[in-house]
Amino acid sequence: MRQALWPGADADELAEESTAYFAGSGALAMVMLCEAEGTVPLGMIELSLRSHADGCRSSPVPFVEGWYVVLGARRQGVGAALMAAAEAWARAGGYSELASDTDLDNDAGRRAHAGCGFEEIGRAIKFRKNLQP
C-alpha cells in the first residue's frame, strides 16, 4: 500500500521505513491497517509526532504521514474509520490537534480530509536548491 500511495518513491527506502517502525525505531509513531474478513488489506494510516505543524498551536503534533485506501474500498467508510482510529489514538495520548497535508493537485485527498473534519489552513509550493556541485 505504501508503494501505491507513493509510486515515485524508492521501494527499498519505503521498506526500510516500515522495518524501522516494526523494530520500534524510526520516525513513525503509529501504523494502523484496516482489513476485510480473511485479512485482505483495505487501507492504512501512518502517523508521526512532529515538533510542529503549520496552523497548530501545540507541540508535539500527531501528523498523518500517509493515508491510503485501495481503489475497490474507497467511498465505503474505510478512510473515515482509519482517520477516526488515528484521532482516538491521538486523544488517548493526550494530544489536542491532528495535522496532515496533501499535494496541491490531490483533489480526492483534499475532499477526504474535509470530509473527516479537517480545515484547510493554507496552500504552499515548496522549494529547494541543491548546493552540491
In a domain, residue 53? The reply is yes
Residue 74's alpha-carbon distances to 28, 97, 101, in angstroms, are 24, 25, 19
In a domain, residue 19? The reply is no
In a domain, residue 131? The reply is no
In a domain, residue 32? The reply is yes
In a domain, residue 43? The reply is yes
Check residue 75 and give its pLDDT. Answer: 93
SS3 9: coil
Check residue 28 and give its pLDDT. Answer: 81
Q: What is the pTM of this model?
A: 0.86
Domain of 59, CATH number, reads: 3.40.630.30
Task: Tell me how many domains the chain contains.
Answer: 1
Where b means 16+ CB within 10 Å and e means fewer, 16-48 reads ebeeebeeeeeebbbbbebeeeeeeebbbbbbb
CB atoms within 10 A of CB 66: 18
In a domain, residue 20? The reply is no
In a domain, residue 122? The reply is no
Q: Give, for all 133 residues of the chain, the pLDDT tens digit.
A: 888 888 888 888 888 888 887 777 777 889 999 999 878 899 999 999 999 999 999 999 999 999 999 999 999 999 999 999 999 999 999 999 999 999 999 999 999 999 999 999 999 888 988 899 8
- Which residue is listed with cell 474507497? 74
Check residue 96 and give its pLDDT. Answer: 96
In a domain, residue 42? The reply is yes
Check residue 81 and give its pLDDT. Answer: 97
Range of the domain at 88: 27-115
- Which residue is listed with cell 485506501? 69
List the one residue out of 44, 43, 113 whose CA is nearest residue 73. 43
Cell numbers of 118, please? 479537517
